[in-house]
Amino acid sequence: MNIEIPILNESQEQAIAEQQLGRKLYVETYGCQMNVNDSEIVQGVMHKHGYEMTEKPDDADVILLNTCAIRDNAERKIHERLTHLKYYKKRNKDLVVGLLGCMAERLRGDLLGEKNLVDLVVGPDEYRRVPELVENALAGDQGIAVKLSRVETYDDIIPLRTEGIAAWVSIMRGCDKFCTFCVVPFTRGRERSRALDSVVDEVRQLWDNGFKEVTLLGQNVNSYNDEESGYDFADLLAACAKAVPAMRIRYTTSHPYDMSDKLIETMATYDNICKYIHLPVQSGSDRILKLMNRHYSVEHYLERIAKIREYMPNCALSTDIIVGFCTETDEDHALTMELMKQVRYDGAYMFNYSPRENTKAWKMGDDVPLDIKTARLNEIIALQNKISDEINKSEIGKTFSVLVEGPSKRNPQEWQGRTDTNKVVIFPHDLDEQQQSDYVIGDCINVIVQRSSSATLFGVRV
Ligand code: SAH
Ligand code: SF4
Ligand code: F3S
């Protein structure tokens, strides 16, 4: 067992903080929301050590890339980014470049040789050591810290969040599911949960600091377990919903195997728990699900969906699907299409299977040729777009409570917000004669939908 012990005592920490005063840190984040929250944790740690944050890599003394390893193309992106960073290092010889996250954990020391550029490599459970390793790098020493922990949850660290209305809150780390295709159990280690009280306190503080929405994060939130009290994920959701009744509460990701009746009933009970579930299915073929070690059948999955719809008829659903997993046939693929037609997801994230070294599936081979994978992928993307488009058309004429996020990216005259079902809504930003608006970012306003696309709803305020 790897119990985390404080690396530096307080006066040593203070001394380092004073030395670093005014040094600028730039962090770039790849991968999932857990990585986004981890970057905020690293920035929290570095801020405490006297670093200032910058959004411009040109101004930075330290550049950290928080990386992802989920598919080969995620890693390729990082290698390409490192090529660019070489120019920054040419301009500033003292620049420190570090790799954090899942790819750092997976490739470890191999990355230190990369383009003579990388000064430190730090895995997801060693972020407390980033200041020390950066300090060493500034003195010219390369460093690596990639030990995985059974206990680290960064419970006591306050993430440095950029201002906004929506916050990510990690409630657990790691994953014990070992789906055969997946690298996460190797890059993030064993599953462990934060204490319920600590999560509820953080959510309460976020509300006090002006946040209006939180998303509770874990690779498989349904197996959240506060070991001391025995509380499960449904208890945690209910506790958050009760503690801050006007805060919108979301979560991701659920595993279909552990999607309990209690959780569904709890979601239905509280108005401020958003009616949106991301429930990755991966495949519509029982044979493939078994090879993936997903622990559920299509029948079980559909029964869970039926239960969700019974309790929350308007709950939006999304999923993840992998095409071209080893031995996937046309028949398996047809079953996936069939399932998509049956469930009618509001949205889906769809991927070509990408073999990852050291996973069980790695040894099963990668026998579906790329052109077939891509043809299948295109087919399910087209099907999903058609379904999303039809579902969104059926929202026309309905009124939604929309949490206002601010100007839309395309046209600042228009603003955007989100429904509780997680749909983006675009609406004109109406101003009165004094050029004033009677709502601000973070308010909930009612919007009636007038038209839609497969990805977006468009409407006006009512
Ligand atoms: N914990 C979540 C998923 C995390 S990864 C869950 O179990 O649902 C996000 C998605 O990436 C997965 O749902 C899966 O669809 C996809 N994915 C993971 N490993 C992959 C691989 N090797 N190739 C292609 N897609 C993969
Ligand atoms: Fe990966 Fe499966 Fe864990 Fe999700 S549940 S992170 S897919 S091993
Ligand atoms: Fe990527 Fe790691 Fe998240 S592999 S998807 S950053 S858990």
**pLDDT at position 24:** 97
Residue 58 DSSP one-character state: G
**pLDDT at position 114:** 79
Determine the topology of domain 166-393 in CATH. Answer: pyruvate-formate lyase- activating enzyme (3.80.30)
**pLDDT at position 412:** 81
Report the DSSP beta bridge partners of residue 121. Answer: 99, 144
Pocket residue to mutate for ligand 3, from 42, 102, 106, 179, most atoms within 8 A of Cβ: 102
**pLDDT at position 2:** 44
Within the chain, which residue ranges are assigned CATH 3.80.30.20? 166-393
Q: Which atom of ligand 2 is nearest to the CA of 253?
A: 4
**pLDDT at position 315:** 98
- In order, the DSSP letters of 253-286 are ---GGG--HHHHHHHHH-TTB-SEEE---B-S-H
| β 192-193/172-173 pair status | antiparallel
CB neighbour class for 381 (10 Å; exposed up to 12, middle 13-18, buried from 19): middle
| Integer-rounded Cα radius of gyration of the chain | 23
Pocket residue to mutate for ligand 2, from 178, 322, 359, most atoms within 8 A of Cβ: 178
> Nearest C-alpha to atom 4 of ligand 1 is from which residue?
219
> Nearest C-alpha to atom 3 of ligand 3 is from which residue?
32
Cβ–ligand 3 distance for 65 under 6 Å, the answer no
> Nearest C-alpha to atom 8 of ligand 1 is from which residue?
280
Neighbouring CB atoms inside 10 A of 76's CB total 10
Are the beta carbons of 271 and 238 closer than 8 angstroms?
Answer: no
114, 203, 237, 243, 389 from 246: Cα distances, Å: 48, 11, 14, 9, 31
CB neighbour class for 310 (10 Å; exposed up to 12, middle 13-18, buried from 19): exposed
**pLDDT at position 226:** 96
For residue 183, the CA-to-ligand 3 centroid distance in Å is 8
Pocket residue to mutate for ligand 3, from 34, 42, 76, most atoms within 8 A of Cβ: 34
> Which of 122, 180, 213, 273 has the alpha carbon at shortest distance from 418?
213
For residue 155, the CA-to-ligand 2 centroid distance in Å is 22
The Cα 5–Cα 147 span in angstroms is 13
**253 preceded by cis ω (within 30°)?**
yes
Within the chain, which residue ranges are assigned CATH 2.40.50.140? 399-461
The Cα 334–Cα 384 span in angstroms is 14
Q: Would you state the structure tokens that stand for residue 425, as one six-digit string?
A: 């809504």
**pLDDT at position 4:** 46
The architecture in CATH of the region 2-145 reads 3-Layer(aba) Sandwich (3.40)
48, 66, 100, 146, 359 from 42: Cα distances, Å: 10, 10, 9, 15, 28
Cβ–ligand 2 distance for 175 under 6 Å, the answer yes
**pLDDT at position 169:** 97
pTM, to two decimals = 0.94
Query: What is the enclosing helix (H) or strand (E) of 429?
Result: none
Number of the ligand closest to the Cα of 322: 1
**pLDDT at position 21:** 66
pLDDT 10s digit of each residue in the chain, 462 long?
A: 344 444 566 666 666 666 666 899 999 999 999 999 999 999 999 999 999 999 999 999 999 999 999 999 999 999 999 999 999 999 999 999 999 999 999 999 899 987 789 999 999 999 999 999 999 999 999 999 999 999 999 999 999 998 789 999 999 999 999 999 999 999 999 999 999 999 999 999 999 999 999 999 999 999 999 999 999 999 999 999 999 999 999 999 999 999 999 999 999 999 999 999 999 999 999 999 999 999 999 999 999 999 999 999 999 999 999 999 999 999 999 999 999 999 999 999 999 999 999 999 999 999 999 999 999 999 999 999 999 999 999 999 999 999 999 999 888 889 999 999 999 999 999 888 888 888 999 999 999 999 999 999 999 999
Cβ–ligand 2 distance for 131 under 6 Å, the answer no
Pocket residue to mutate for ligand 1, from 73, 186, 255, 351, most atoms within 8 A of Cβ: 351
Class of domain 399-461: mainly beta
Are the beta carbons of 53 and 162 closer than 8 angstroms?
Answer: no
Cβ–ligand 2 distance for 349 under 6 Å, the answer no
> Which of 85, 88, 119, 94 has the alpha carbon at shortest distance from 104?
119
> Nearest C-alpha to atom 4 of ligand 2 is from which residue?
219
For ligand 1, which residues put their CB under 6 angstroms from it? 70-71, 181-182, 219-220, 253, 255, 280, 282, 320, 322, 351, 353-354, 356
Within the chain, which residue ranges are assigned CATH 3.40.50.12160? 2-145
69, 254, 264, 270, 388 from 308: Cα distances, Å: 32, 13, 6, 14, 19
Q: Which amino acid is residue 237, in one-letter code?
A: L
For residue 359, the CA-to-ligand 2 centroid distance in Å is 12
CB neighbour class for 367 (10 Å; exposed up to 12, middle 13-18, buried from 19): exposed
For residue 179, the CA-to-ligand 2 centroid distance in Å is 6
For residue 363, the CA-to-ligand 2 centroid distance in Å is 18
**pLDDT at position 116:** 82
